A and B are shown apart, each in its own frame.
Chain A
């Protein structure tokens, strides 16, 4: 409304309606960074963080983790790449490990790969979620290039670089020379099995080309049951990552001898990557990771230290807040221009 129009109409006042909102007079609290508030804030953070850090650290420390990097020993020194690419040689390799501490079931078996860029743009895009989910969507291979079609032009199911490069090392584990079962059920997310991978979609034309990437799939099992594939297709964000291989559902005692027969098939040699086998127990915090615990302790400690420094500073160099005598920003002398 144009206020000018109403000018003469003096019966209708043009006075703006009063409300706390329009007058910007809403009640407000104005916390200041006073010594009391800041010191107690840092104290509080310190007091909370240190126990949480201790709890996290002890949880992490309780986890028993066994890491065995096998890629260097399970291959002849000369011509690693030629060895791994030769499909005829028997690539089994036996590793013996000693368990340092009692490991409570369930024990997770991971394979850890280093310097493998699952997060590379070329790689991460090369999949077709539609095809994985729906039976009739096999031709949705647009994003899968260069692994979309076979040489004959038939769509590959599952298509794309991710599926094609499926990890294919296998582990057979025995404790004290006695073979134990590795449970490979339910290693993938339930939600993936139910909603992302179709139970009526079967692998077709997979790994049929000249270039074999990784593992082959059993064409009679639907994708939703191909848990190794499902796990693999949850791409990792970091170049070094672990993926669940299976579980051991019995406890392993301390000093037990573990013998692992590894089929060393997967080629990490051409790009200088690493491979390792990891056995780990679990706790509420997840896998073994001291980072959070240590970080909490450091942050908590620093906070307490800062709080202390503030207190000391405040005692030795007290500053009255709002004391006008130290308007230091006003110290510059007044010069005559020029």
Chain B
């Protein structure tokens, strides 16, 4: 499918949409229905809607419909307002962008219009530093050569400048001509590929040249980029509004469900089942009672003949009574809490990166708990573990290795001497370093030259060359000037054979200014260059150099060149042009043509670039591994380099304690055999020994095809793996393998090649680094440095998990509590489905009385941050899901049943006989619930900060205030009830009794457990308490040593201990550790 754009043709300008950008999800009109529809897609909401509708049937409803409609509507309003607010902000920012003024040419006249009024085919004029309003095909710039620079960071996050060239067909047109130009651009339909634009353009009069001219991405100015260092530029709008490349690549990510959420859903279903059982049993009893006893109760006046559905009435009534068993507010409460966790991450000062001025950011606010349960971290290497700041360290030229003694070739006297003596090999080597790249030299005011480069390696090479007196002074689309030892040389840049990850090399074709000789200069990975040498060249020495450098953890590149004959070049150039113009399969065609030129190379030498480890990486990895997290490194780099980096950053320890299992081989059989062997060794080795396997992309491909199961088993057994030569897809596949066996994975990376794995993993973390922000944008969390990962996981993840575990189970507790009381009351009210509590109390219970205190848990910290970082093993506790699983839930369930029994029996005994007035008795029971829930929150909080205390007891006071106010309204059932109760000494005495009986055993049980069967958390709390706040001072350190070893034992026994010390009560609980 093609799109035809008629340049500057008013009659056809309305065939495509205008340039109005819209990121909003709703419009004013569809907000209500669409939002309702979205909300009702949740099962819970459907359930509550059904309950609410049933309540409208007055025959069966035990309480006023308000009890469900009220909370339901409040919850809907809360979620809807959040959506509306977000959408409104999006609308505002859209509006700002849409109403920006831009200059366009209309009817041959320059006019200023709003950005939203641009149409396809308009000619848009931009000035320096303007934001590009829509996707344009460049047709003219202020630069005589027809280039302009743009900054694309908003699009792909790359901060370097990119060159854009006016297509030759419109080059050299004057401003007047440009304003009148007419023509057709033939381009593909809108897509989201920001690296591809395979189109062509034809201009009509006044241009004479009527040929088709190919267009590439290099001839475009894409929306949301900025024009830099160029006075003006103008272009033809080809895609507008939401059809631009940046508009098409905006998408809404699928919401991720955390492990904790999945567990909550499971528990909800279990409770739902329980509810059905309770309803059936009580309904059965109800009908029995009605027929045996009810008909004799003359004052009830049961009609002898009921309607046909009579037997359904009582069960349905109980269904409505028990609907509160599932807390209607849990979703809202959890969403709010999760929002706060995310904010805490954004706010965290200690995760702020000074160097890049980036705070941590959580783009996905819903999955913080998962951070606390991470089991596998899959990390990229370059830019994630390393700084991605390339420094030229060593080189091997003409079989001589430079930089061996001091580790820095730039200071190697032999090299410096060779440079000053104009050694021809060295000069050529430096020339390739300076010319064979896509670096843009930018001259600043004081005549110094700085380099803007897309690739860090290229920048390092150019900088190193200039340090060795080979300076790249200037460069434009067709010429480059270098300066060597004070003399300048001009080169004509004929073609650039671009780098792709498949080709793993790049070349340029240049023509020497003075001699007119045509040269091919190439650089690339050893395996991409060395096979292309001319027959007979000695490669051995270079292979050794590559081997040695990668042993040192350095990145290597091979440089080469060859002379081109004029004819040969011309012939090739034609093919190249053709390939570049093709609309289909352009990339592979170009690769094929390039391949034909890049052969018979003379190898000049090997460069070695160091990429230093980021600050704090080894410590962080050690900490994370101590926390029981398995760390895998996935990289596109060479095996040796990868292993070396792995050693440096504590990923693999030295020989006696660890063993590297290499899965490799020349044939498929070899690879499969090595896999079997690795699996055997892994199975038979005690877990105290660190085992790591190493494999490369090719081996993974084979394994995927032939032995996926054994590989998966190996993956489950290995704590460490180094996977090199991985393509972006393979990285994602590895994540998928681990996910498929139920592990919680976190992928961290910084570059565009990590995006797929970041999106695939349960949690994606992006480093907002030097390779741009692509990864950070796709990720759920973005951080400035790898070392912040430890805070993200150990502090934020762990606290979030703990807090969510409490909030969710507590929500069930409080709902079950009041529901059990209702059920118990059924036994005293003839199973007739009378509600003990009045409608107002029931509604307010879930929404007001109990929602605030539980929120205080978002401030709770069980143990301090320093303790967690000191004993990272404690993460195993949350990783294994010890705080939220069927067992703990049974604890809460039992507690709510016990508390319900206590409240109910104390209430009916204390308020028996003449006091058993319905309203009073129900209020006593409700007060009991409120007292207990305040004490339960107190008991389960680990720390008390002022907001916690204010909220818990403020809520308590608010309960009395609200009920006293309600008691002053004569039309309510509650009228005067609370005043009467508060005046009775027996009311207060009853409350105290309830609390003592309900909380006493809980406290005693806690105490026994803390003292005699303490959990690791308890022990650490006790350590904290006994040492004051833990500072890693020396004497404390020594005192803590035994703990360390014990905790380490725990760590090494992770897998084993998970099974043995965690005894599930429900059959499906094995899943809960996942």
Contact = CB atoms under 8 A, between A and B. Distances in A.
Interface stretch (B1-9, B258-266, B604-612, B985-993): B985-993
A191 B975 contact: yes
A324 B985 CA distance: 48
A289 B913 CA distance: 9
Interface in A1-60: 3-8, 10, 13-18, 22-24, 26-35, 38, 41-42, 45, 49, 52, 56
Given A15-B359, A324-B1043, A332-B1057, A122 B302 contact: yes
B834 interface: yes
Contact residues of B: prevailing secondary structure: helix
B352 A16 contact: yes
A133 to B, nearest CB: 8
B210 interface: no
A156 to B, nearest CB: 13
A325 B303 contact: no
Contacts of A164: 299
Contacts of B832: 117, 119-122
Looking at chain B, what size class is its interface with the partner chain?
35 or more
Interface in A75-110: 108, 110
Contacts of A327: 1016, 1019, 1043, 1046-1047, 1050
B347 A196 contact: no
A158 B563 CA distance: 114
Interface stretch (B433-441, B474-482, B940-948): B940-948
Interface stretch (A178-186, A200-208, A231-239): A231-239
A120 B300 contact: yes
B1000 interface: yes
B349 A121 contact: no
Nearest to A194: B970
Contact of A30 (B944, B1000, B1056): B944
Nearest to A18: B349
Interface string B1035-1072: 00000101100110110110111001100000000000
B833 interface: yes
A285 B1056 contact: no
Contacts of B317: 121
Looking at chain A, what size class is its interface with the partner chain?
35 or more
A291 B997 CA distance: 14
A337 B717 contact: yes
A27 B906 CA distance: 38
B1007 A334 contact: no
Given A14-B358, A237-B921, A292-B990, A124 B834 contact: yes
A164 B298 CA distance: 11
A16 B836 contact: no
Given A3-B361, A117-B830, A189-B976, A285 B985 contact: yes
B914 interface: yes
A14 B352 contact: yes
A238 B943 contact: no
B828 A238 contact: yes
B1023 interface: yes
Nearest to A322: B1022
Contacts of B946: 26-27
A241 interface: yes
Given A14-B359, A324-B1042, A324-B1046, A23 B1021 contact: no
Interface string B155-184: 001010000000000000000000000000
Nearest to A189: B976
Nearest to A242: B914
B303 A146 contact: yes
B347 A237 contact: no
Interface string B2-37: 000000000000000000000000000000000000
Nearest to B796: A24
Contacts of B1042: 324-325
B918 A234 contact: yes
B856 to A, nearest CB: 11
B538 interface: no
Interface string B347-368: 1111010101111010000000
B192 interface: no
Contact of A336 (B361, B684, B834, B1024): B684
A166 to B, nearest CB: 10
B986 A16 contact: no
Given A15-B352, A147-B301, A189-B976, A22 B344 contact: yes
B870 to A, nearest CB: 13
Interface stretch (A169-177, A253-261, A296-304): A296-304
B592 to A, nearest CB: 38
B975 A195 contact: yes
Contacts of A41: 1003
A196 B975 contact: yes
Nearest to B995: A45
B359 A119 contact: no
A210 interface: no
Contact of B297 (A8, A38, A120, A291): A120
B90 to A, nearest CB: 12
A164 B910 CA distance: 30
A240 B914 CA distance: 9
B302 A14 contact: no
Interface string A282-293: 001111010110
A155 B1043 CA distance: 81
A291 B909 contact: yes
B254 interface: no
Which residue among B346, B350, B918, B1011 has the maximum number of chain A CB atoms within 10 Å of its CB? B1011
A13 B357 CA distance: 6
Contact of A49 (B688, B717, B906, B996): B996
B1024 A16 contact: no
A120 B976 contact: no
A16 B348 CA distance: 7
Given A117-B297, A122-B302, A321 B914 contact: no
A296 B906 CA distance: 11
A276 B560 CA distance: 113
Interface string A231-273: 0001111111111100000000000000000000001001110
A238 B1022 contact: no
Nearest to B1013: A328
Contacts of B921: 237-238
A135 interface: no
A286 B986 contact: yes
Interface string B810-827: 000000000000000100
Nearest to B1025: A32
Given A236-B916, A324-B1046, A24 B859 contact: yes
Contact of A3 (B350, B358, B976): B358
B85 to A, nearest CB: 14
B997 A121 contact: no
Interface string A312-338: 000001010111111111101011111
Nearest to B907: A237
Given A18-B349, A327-B1046, A322 B945 contact: no
A40 B989 CA distance: 21
A165 interface: yes
A126 B268 CA distance: 36
19 contacts: A3-B782, A4-B773, A7-B768, A22-B348, A23-B348, A28-B861, A42-B1004, A112-B913, A122-B300, A165-B299, A191-B976, A237-B917, A239-B830, A242-B916, A291-B912, A292-B986, A310-B1007, A321-B1011, A324-B1042
Given A161-B301, A321-B1011, 8 more contacts: A4-B776, A35-B1007, A110-B914, A242-B916, A244-B914, A295-B909, A303-B996, A334-B1053
Interface of A: 3-8, 10, 13-18, 22-24, 26-35, 38, 41-42, 45, 49, 52, 56, 108, 110, 112, 116-124, 129, 146-147, 161, 164-165, 189, 191, 195-196, 213, 234-244, 267, 270-272, 284-287, 289, 291-292, 295-296, 299, 302-303, 306, 310, 317, 319, 321-330, 332, 334-338
Instruction: List 4 A-B pairs, minimum CB-CB distance, nearest first.
Output: A322-B1022, A22-B347, A165-B299, A28-B943
